[in-house]
Structure 1
Amino acid sequence: MAGLLSGLAVVEASSFVASPTAGLYLAQLGAEVIRIDQIGGGPDFRRWPQAPNGASLYWENLNRGKKSVALDLARPEGRELMQALAASTGQFLTNYPVDGFLAHAALAKRRSELITVRVMGTAQGGPALDYTVNAAVGIPQITGPAELGDTPVNHVLPAWDLLTGAYAAFTMLAAVQHRAASGSGGEYRIPLQDVATGSIANLGMIAEALVTAPRPRLGNDVFGAFGRDFVTADGKRLMLMAITPKQWSGLVAVLGLGEAVARVEAERRVSFAVDEGLRFAHRDALFPLIEASLARRTSGELIPALESHGCCFGGYQSVAEAAHDPALVTANPLFGSAANPSGECYPAASAFLSEPRAPPRSAPQLGAHTEEVLAERLGLSAAEIGRLHDDGLIG
């Protein structure tokens, strides 16, 4: 698995979430990913969350398995080195501005078949972050309980950044395949705003707003299907879902609600057996039945029964609890040990493929591979590298 992209080298000049995520995924699948960093670190080098010593836990996890070259990018000579490195492998990943010194046209003069994958805020080149884009596409207006009225609720997961990063990695591989067939490179731009808007359109939400009506706030109810959180007799909160007929019939059997559900079906002249939309539409009658049944049973009774009937459910827990959960982290082969620049020891994630597994790799110390990469990629001699170091151009 670690060698799926063996032989592919990508230079990355990026910060924050989307573009570094693309580089991370490529590195996890075996590509050589070479980060170009400002001496002393870029704008996200100390980004929260931080270790007690101030090192960024965020930075060292988004940059696992990469190499780091540190340059003084405030000086023309440092930017010249960056341009040469960006073109050196034939693959360049960045979220730097379109028209700066890393413009594709300038880099392609050094290597005509160069592929540049550029993550952007908007297609016009304007700034945008996950949280501003999320606000613009309307998700905060349909998140949270109805009692909030028009008050928006921002969620903490940067979903659009993560989707953009994955799409950028996919685009890089598609561009490499295209070049192998055609011989031509090019610049491929991925605007974060378009990823967000296109994603909600792909889910039918744009059409829904125009063809029917804007979706209301539903709290923890799952739109269009049977799903919500319920509390057991011992205070355990479970998220119960019933998407498929098997999941629904299993849930009804476990909770002993066959007769009660049949009465609702007869009264309302519907059948919940196969149509998840009907279970959602008639949740006003179904939810109270589920609530009453779970209120009489402990989680210790319910969970084994739900598992044996193939039901879909999950318990709520904090991130701290998840970090100690054997199924999720402590006994999950997704996680392993790796040295960290922060000096902290904690489980580190490897590639998401379940088979075959490869252990997680460390993030680089800032500038740890500067001399190696300059010698290998640009053919600089030890004397030349020494001069650059003495001049403060590399770190």
Structure 2
Amino acid sequence: MYDLLKGLRVVEGAAFVAGPSCGLYLAQMGAEVIRFDNIGGGPDFNRWPLTESGDSLYWEGLNKSKKSVAINLSSPEGRALAVRLAAAPGENGGLFVTNFPAEGFLSYEALRKIREDVICVRVMGWADGKPALDYTVNCAVGVPEMTGHPDDPRPVNHMLPAWDLLTGAYGAFALTSALIARRMDGRGREVRLPLSDIAAASLANLGMVGDVMGGAPDRPRMGNALYGAFGRDFVTRDGKRIMLVAITARQWRGLLQTLGIGDAVAAVEAEVGASFADDEGLRFEHRDRLFPLFDTAFAARDLAEMIPTFDAQGVCWGIYQPLSAAVEDPRLYRGNPVFEEIVQPSGRRYLVPGAAGTIPQDARLSPRPAPRIGQHTDEVLLEVLGLSSGEVGRLHDAGVVAGPGA
């Protein structure tokens, strides 16, 4: 947690990954992020993984450091209250993140009736408004066709929701960009972020679209081999599987020295008329000649004996390990200052991250837990919307809003 965005008030009306992760990143940089949730929780409130008591670790993971207002979004009065909250006054307010439909009750036109300069970041599936999830976009852009082993024709979906996470991060960037522009020109804006556009643009940015449009065939499945450079998984004598990548000339030379296969590789270079140290693409092109040399070399050595030379020579490698082992790795979780153990609403105490970026010049603040649904209903209605205590009480009595435990 840092205080770079202290003073900003962002309202979030979103479920699943992209929208809530956008709000999470803003909160971790110091913004006050206020969620409005349906009374009893929204559609992602009980998503797996769950604790033994049924609390969603997924939900409390994505909603750390936020406030929660519980509203009956099925009622006209509740919907009107959500619109007022999204477009609430204040120089550093009127900032809204949502994945509600563009033409629904939270349309940009409805928000502008309350506040002309409101800024809305709207996460979508497809740009035409049709629904989509990360998995359905991923298959459409062709990534599963490139993933998996070459001897298995089945497409492989990646379990990491990459387009959701990229969209959330892009949304935080887009919102702060629109805010800077508003401070200069006084205008509000709606930024629409379809997952499909984020996915399509990302593949184009990596050169893949230009490649196939230039006549190249679709990229084949390569298992764990790295496209366009030297990299693959190898198994050591003691049964450790590592991922090894050599992109730079220094990495390549250090790898050959560690494994003692410089002469064997030089023989291949002489045979094919290439210098692998000078061109990473040539290492990829001749990988079928090189991989057996490396398989043999790794099979003759234990990992522990290679690590000191790997580190001294700048070799880039990583060990394959399950998450249960990774959480004990001090470079990743336990011992990493990005993480701190706190108690979440589920009652479970575990490591949670603050801001993933580190600012050496600023003090890192402790992460805050996720809210309980409706935990901040009264506080927000009184302080942000300026309602009287009597009006807040009437909304409770009418079932329009609720506090925690409702």
Q: TM-score, normalised by structure 2?
A: 0.96
* Selected match of 1:388 from 387, 395, 403: 395
Cα distance in 1 between the residues matched to 2:385 and 2:399: 18
Cα distance in 2 between the residues matched to 1:142 and 1:106: 43
The match for 2:341 is 337
Q: Segments of 4+ in structure 1 off by > 6 A? A: none
Alpha-carbon shift at residue 186 of structure 1 (Å): 1.6
Residue pair 1:45, 1:56 contacting (<8 A) in 2 also: yes
Cα distance in 2 between the residues matched to 1:240 and 1:116: 43
Cα distance in 1 between the residues matched to 2:83 and 2:336: 41
Residue 65 of structure 2 is aligned to residue 65 of structure 1: yes
Alpha-carbon displacement from aligned partner over 1:182-207 (angstroms, at most 9, x marks no partner) = 11002110111010011001111112
Instruction: Give the AA of the match of 1:51.
Output: T
The match for 1:29 is 29
* Selected match of 1:187 from 187, 190, 201: 190
Alpha-carbon shift at residue 101 of structure 1 (Å): 0.6
Residue 50 of structure 2 is aligned to residue 47 of structure 1: no
Alpha-carbon shift at residue 326 of structure 1 (Å): 2.1
Cα distance in 2 between the residues matched to 1:188 and 1:298: 53
Residue 273 of structure 2 is aligned to residue 299 of structure 1: no
Correspondence 1:104-115 to 2 at 5 A: 104-115=108-119
Q: Which runs of 5+ in 2 are unaligned?
A: none
The match for 1:230 is 234
The match for 1:93 is 97
Residue pair 1:114, 1:185 contacting (<8 A) in 2 also: yes
The match for 2:381 is 374
Tell me the SS of whatever aligns to 1:146.
Answer: coil
Farther off after superposition, 229-238 or 295-304: 295-304
Q: Which runs of 5+ in 1 are unaligned?
A: none
Cα distance in 2 between the residues matched to 1:186 and 1:333: 37
Q: TM-score, normalised by structure 1?
A: 0.98
Instruction: Give the AA of the match of 2:259.
Output: L
The sequence identity of aligned pairs, in percent, is: 56
Alpha-carbon displacement from aligned partner over 1:139-168 (angstroms, at most 9, x marks no partner) = 11110111112x111110000000011111
The match for 1:359 is 366
The match for 1:205 is 208
Cα distance in 2 between the residues matched to 1:256 and 1:170: 47
The match for 2:179 is 176
Alpha-carbon displacement from aligned partner over 1:82-113 (angstroms, at most 9, x marks no partner) = 11101003111100001111011111011101
Cα distance in 1 between the residues matched to 2:380 and 2:321: 44
Cα distance in 2 between the residues matched to 1:300 and 1:116: 52
Tell me the SS of whatever aligns to 1:234.
Answer: coil
Query: Aligned-pair RMSD on alpha carbons?
Result: 0.9
The match for 1:270 is 274
Residue pair 1:48, 1:57 contacting (<8 A) in 2 also: yes
Instruction: Give the AA of the match of 1:366.
Output: I
Cα distance in 1 between the residues matched to 2:387 and 2:274: 76
Residue pair 1:351, 1:358 contacting (<8 A) in 2 also: no
Alpha-carbon shift at residue 234 of structure 1 (Å): 0.4
* Selected match of 2:283 from 279, 284, 307: 279
Cα distance in 2 between the residues matched to 1:143 and 1:52: 34
Farther off after superposition, 3-12 or 322-331: 322-331
Residue pair 1:233, 1:298 contacting (<8 A) in 2 also: yes
Cα distance in 2 between the residues matched to 1:299 and 1:180: 56
